Structure 1
Amino acid sequence: MAPTLVNVAVGVLLGVALLGVAFDRRSIATVGLAAALPDLDVAVSLLVPEATNAAFHSVFLAAVVGGVLYWDTERRETSWLRDRYGFYGVRVAWVALASFVVAGIALDLGTSVGVALLYPLVDRYYVVSGRLVLSNQEGVVQTYFDLGEGWLALETTGRPSTHHVETWVNPTPDGANPADSERRLRLVESGWQLVTVVTAIAAVPAKYTLEGDR
């Protein structure tokens, strides 16, 4: 899984890009928090060992939230969210959902651990890894997806029930977590992650400055 700090940074960048007139301190904080929410399944793993990168990373959870939001804002005769918070609330809710899905879930798909996208129906971690190359000899070469027997196949790294994902909250496979267990809080693990975090930190005041110059 990507460090939560990086998830939040990507969520903040999405907020800067998508919030528009709804951009303020409260909305950008909400969108950043939404990006961090999937990682809260590490706390659930204390009770359900296979929950890490599964319980709150499931596409079904995002689909339910998105369905409820669409029903309330687009299909209901009177929207509770729009009546209570107006255009601001609807815009923030949709951008927060985008942050939850893209920055919180999809970003973790590109890590070595992967995400149990179809949990609890399918007990598998899935990973999106590969390359996209344009070669003058081979043409377009992509290794992200394989088409096998008419199905789009993703690489899998194992099962949540048998593959433990080490976290600060739950570092040991059996969940015992003795006092002498090593706990590592991963903040930034690569150059691109550092660039992303720094860019997000700079983007928020830059957004305020640009909005003020209009």
Structure 2
Amino acid sequence: MPSLVVHYAFVGLLAATLLGAAFDRRSLLLSLVVVTVPDADAFIALVSQFGHRTATTNLVIPAIVAGVLAFDLYAREESYVRGRWGAYGVRVAWFCVVVYAVGHVLFDAVTGGANLLWPIHDEFYVVRGKLELSSQRGIVQTFVEWNGGNGANGGGGGGPSLRSIGNTSTVQMDTGVDPTPGKREPENVDRIFPVARGGWQLYLLVTGTLATVARFVVGYDLPEE
């Protein structure tokens, strides 16, 4: 599971490449705050089973925010966001929706699982698989598996099988805040707050941080000849 600082590095990399002229200290700080919000459920887990990677780590929240933002921008005669912050505010607002969904929720889904549709549907999903090119088998991928067999009318086919790892009654994810979810915490419990678990996380942490710093230093303007 990626640590919060790895999320920060990833969002910094996204901001440096996607925000364009809207990239500045204010937009970067706001996006870092937004990507922190999903981890609030680590504290909710102390008092509820709908805790880590559930209560705030889901796609329902950014979907609602996106709907409200779209209504304000495209359905109202005078948009509040556009009227107060202009094109800068519109771009940053949409970017923050992306940050919440892609920079944290879906990132968690590929690194251990997340309750993506809670509270509409209580189920943890994880993205696992491989994609490769074989000289004998051609393109091989296992991210989406198609269920064969006979359908209701005797035909073949089927649909994609989702990879579920359980729901909130069977899955409780530990954190440094709550290292023994659902159990009595021993006095000498070891609270682990990860920084980088694995070489790829360290690589992303360093690369994302350097790219963000470089964006501030270099910018997009070419030097004068």
Bin the TM-score by the shorter chain: over 0.9
One-letter identity of the residue aligned with 2:144? F
- CA distances 1:4-47 after superposition (whole Å, capped 9, x unpaired): 11112111111111111111111111112222221211111112
One-letter identity of the residue aligned with 1:24? D
Secondary structure, aligned partner of 1:47: coil
What is the 5 A alignment of 1:91-106?
91-106=91-106
2:5 corresponds in structure 1 to 5
- CA distances 1:38-83 after superposition (whole Å, capped 9, x unpaired): 1211111112123210111222111101101111122211111111
CA contact (8 A) 1:9 1:32 kept: no
Task: Say whether residues 1:126 and 2:125 are aligned partners.
Answer: yes
Q: Partners of 1:195 and 1:184 in 2: how far apart? A: 21
Equivalent residue for 1:204, pick from 212, 216, 222: 212
Task: Say whether residues 1:152 and 2:160 are aligned partners.
Answer: yes
Structure 1 stretches lacking a partner, 5+ long: none
One-letter identity of the residue aligned with 2:68? V
Q: Partners of 2:199 and 2:74 in 1: how far apart? A: 41
CA contact (8 A) 1:34 1:99 kept: yes
1:86 corresponds in structure 2 to 86
Which range moved further: 164-173 or 177-186? Answer: 177-186
CA contact (8 A) 1:62 1:101 kept: yes
What is the 5 A alignment of 1:25-44?
25-44=25-44
TM-score (norm 1): 0.92
Mark the CA change 1:162 to 1:208 in structure 2 (over 3 Å): closer, same or farther: same
Secondary structure, aligned partner of 1:40: helix
Aligned length: 213
Task: Provide the identity percentage.
Answer: 37
1:17 corresponds in structure 2 to 17
Q: Partners of 1:32 and 1:95 in 2: how far apart? A: 11
1:193 corresponds in structure 2 to 201
CA contact (8 A) 2:54 2:116 kept: yes
Structure 2 stretches lacking a partner, 5+ long: 148-156
2:153 corresponds in structure 1 to none
